[in-house]
């Protein structure tokens, strides 16, 4: 596992901030700088269990790389890890965050292919990115072209890769086919729209009813969405009549559950497949018996983490490089709000939905 700083802490002692003297800085070139981190000792509501603390320097071993973090997103799975409801989560106490990017600060004695100043991202993603300095084994760092926008490097793995794999892996889609998805305003949803468009695949997009849904529709159309409807606009007798000239979708993507999942099922073609990859509404997926028997739908789940393992790292990095190529060419973009680290708890409140619908919050260190 990664050498994560929080493992060195005594869980019973939340130390007051450490004031670094010049003696500590001069300790040794094999020690990291102290790190300011979003830390939690217990699972619970993220806005109450997380604290910003200063962690002491840690040893940089021969194969370690110490990175000064520049950006890291707050993803729904980060929230669920802190809540303690996500199946895969770090042991406590822990530092939040799972993906991110930064510049190499210093390297261990055995490192030859990374140098201070290199832009890197955490790949595969692993715990503890919400802190100013992260020390991990070199196998967790992927070097990037210097011209890669750092907020994209920090966010390209979990969501864009999920969008790409769901389009590629589940149904054999061809140009002219269609996808229906809910949660279309999510980062995954925005990427699905653009990656589908690049392949000539049309998208029928469902968003929730909320203030600003007209602007959300406009934004998604600018990204290439063919059709965008709120859930209530789809509350009609013959929902398929709204497909217009979009072919009945072969693939449905569900990250919401409840009524939004039912709508995806209704819009699927005979023999179509719905993939559930998230549950933002925290409501179950309900399927009629006839959907299985007569419409012959297939329902399945998807978890990108199955790609994000060290033994698939090379394959995975090729896909990330492909996505970052699209980003650099301006063919893939998504909404983000950069939040200064000093305002972490406001960004967290936004991610928790306490301030209404907000773009993805990306901490800027
Ligand atoms: N299975 C996997 O491998 C995998 C990988 C990546 C992501 N995911 C999942 O994919 C989903 C989207 O992730 P993301 O990071 O792309 O999202 P995001 O950019 O953080 O956006 C959140 C999305 O959820 C919607 N939402 C929030 N609360 C909702 C509610 N109560 N009812 C309905 N919709 C709600 C938001 O809609 P508004 O725009 O209307 O606020 C927005 O579309 C999450 O469930 C995440 O866990 C799964």
CATH number of the domain residue 166 falls in: 3.40.50.720
Q: Are strands 119-122 and 101-107 parallel, antiparallel or unpaired?
A: antiparallel
Domain assignment of residue 228, yes or no: yes
CA distance 166 to 252: 10
For residues 42 and 115, state if they share a domain. yes
Domain assignment of residue 27, yes or no: yes
Helix then strand then coil, % of the chain, to nearest 5: 30, 25, 45
Determine if ligand 1 sits within 6 Å of the CB of residue 81.
no
Please report the sign of the dihedral spanned by the C-alpha atoms of residue 6, residue 68, residue 147, residue 149. positive
For residues 184 and 214, state if they share a domain. yes
In angstroms, what is the C-alpha Rg of the chain? 22
Residue 78, pLDDT score: 98
Domain assignment of residue 312, yes or no: no
Angle at which helices 158-169 and 313-328 pack, to 10 degrees? 100
CA distance 218 to 326: 22
For residues 151 and 14, state if they share a domain. yes
The last residue of one of the domains, among 283, 305, 327, is 305
The last residue of one of the domains, among 305, 325, 354, is 305
User: How many angstroms is it from 187 CA to the middle of ligand 1?
Assistant: 7
Number of structural domains (the chain) is: 2
For residues 107 and 165, state if they share a domain. no
Determine if ligand 1 sits within 6 Å of the CB of residue 79.
no
Q: Are 70 and 102 in contact (CB under 8 A)?
A: yes
CA distance 69 to 155: 13
For residues 24 and 35, state if they share a domain. yes
Please state the atom number of ligand 1 nearest to the C-alpha of residue 351. 20
CA distance 289 to 72: 43
Residue 29, pLDDT score: 59
User: How many angstroms is it from 184 CA to the middle of ligand 1?
Assistant: 9
Q: Are strands 227-230 and 298-301 parallel, antiparallel or unpaired?
A: unpaired
Please state the atom number of ligand 1 nearest to the C-alpha of residue 190. 16
Angle at which helices 187-198 and 213-223 pack, to 10 degrees? 30
Torsion on CA atoms 267, 274, 276, 195, rounded to nearest 10:
-80
CATH number of the domain encompassing residue 45: 3.90.180.10
For residues 56 and 183, state if they share a domain. no
Residue 247, pLDDT score: 86
Domain assignment of residue 110, yes or no: yes
Determine if ligand 1 sits within 6 Å of the CB of residue 256.
yes
Residue 26, pLDDT score: 39
The last residue of one of the domains, among 305, 322, 345, is 305
For residues 169 and 86, state if they share a domain. no
Which residues of the chain fall short of a pLDDT of 70?
1-29
Domain assignment of residue 325, yes or no: no
For residues 174 and 297, state if they share a domain. yes
Domain assignment of residue 210, yes or no: yes
> On the CB side of 319, how many CA atoms lie within 13 Å of its CA?
22
For residues 215 and 355, state if they share a domain. no
For residues 66 and 176, state if they share a domain. no
- Name the residues annotated as catalytic: 86
CA distance 284 to 274: 14
Q: pTM (2 decimals)?
A: 0.92
Domain assignment of residue 330, yes or no: no
For residues 142 and 170, state if they share a domain. no
Give DSSP secondary structure letters for 224-286. T-SEEEETGGG-SS-GGGGGTTSPPPSEEEESSBHHHHHHHHHHSPTT-EEEE---TT-B---
Range of the domain at 10: 5-156+335-364
CA distance 347 to 326: 27
Nearest CA to ligand 1 atom 45: 278
For residues 270 and 234, state if they share a domain. yes
Domain assignment of residue 46, yes or no: yes
* C-alpha separations of 363 from 151, 154, 155, 339 in Å: 9, 10, 11, 5
Q: Which of 159, 149, 35 is nearest to 96 (CA)?
A: 35
């Amino acid at each position: 596992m990664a050498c994560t700083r929080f493992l060195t802490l005594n869980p019973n002692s939340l130390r007051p901030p450490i004031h670094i003297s010049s003696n500590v800085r001069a300790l040794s070139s094999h020690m990291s700088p102290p790190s300011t981190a979003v830390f939690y000792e217990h699972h619970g509501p993220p806005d109450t269990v997380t604290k910003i603390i200063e962690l002491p320097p840690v040893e940089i071993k021969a194969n370690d790389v110490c990175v000064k973090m520049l950006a890291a997103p707050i993803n729904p799975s980060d929230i669920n890890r802190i809540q303690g409801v996500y199946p895969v989560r770090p042991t406590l106490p822990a530092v939040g965050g799972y993906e991110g990017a930064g510049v190499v600060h210093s390297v261990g004695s055995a490192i030859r292919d990374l140098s201070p100043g290199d832009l890197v991202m955490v790949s595969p993603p692993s715990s503890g990115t919400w802190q100013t300095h992260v020390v991990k084994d070199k196998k967790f760092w992927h070097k990037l072209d210097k011209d890669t926008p750092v907020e994209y490097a920090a966010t390209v793995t979990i969501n864009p890769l999920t969008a790409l794999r769901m389009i590629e892996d589940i149904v054999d889609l061809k140009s002219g086919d269609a996808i229906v998805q809910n949660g279309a305003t999510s980062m995954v949803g925005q990427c699905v729209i653009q990656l589908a468009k690049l392949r000539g695949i049309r998208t029928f997009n469902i968003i929730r009813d909320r203030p600003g849904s007209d602007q959300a529709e406009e934004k998604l159309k600018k990204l290439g969405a063919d059709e965008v409807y709120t859930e209530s606009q789809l509350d009609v007798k013959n929902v398929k009549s709204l497909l217009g000239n979009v072919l009945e979708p072969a693939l449905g993507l569900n990250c919401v559950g409840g009524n939004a999942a039912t709508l995806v099922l209704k819009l699927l073609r005979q023999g179509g497949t719905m993939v559930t990859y998230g549950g933002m509404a925290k409501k179950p997926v309900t399927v009629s018996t006839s959907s299985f028997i007569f419409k012959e739908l297939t329902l399945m789940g998807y978890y990108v983490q199955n790609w994000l393992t060290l033994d698939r790292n090379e394959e995975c990095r090729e896909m990330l490089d492909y996505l970052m190529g699209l980003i650099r060419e301006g063919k893939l973009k998504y909404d983000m709000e950069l939040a200064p680290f000093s305002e972490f708890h406001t960004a967290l409140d936004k991610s928790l939905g306490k301030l209404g619908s907000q773009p993805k919050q990306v901490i800027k260190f």
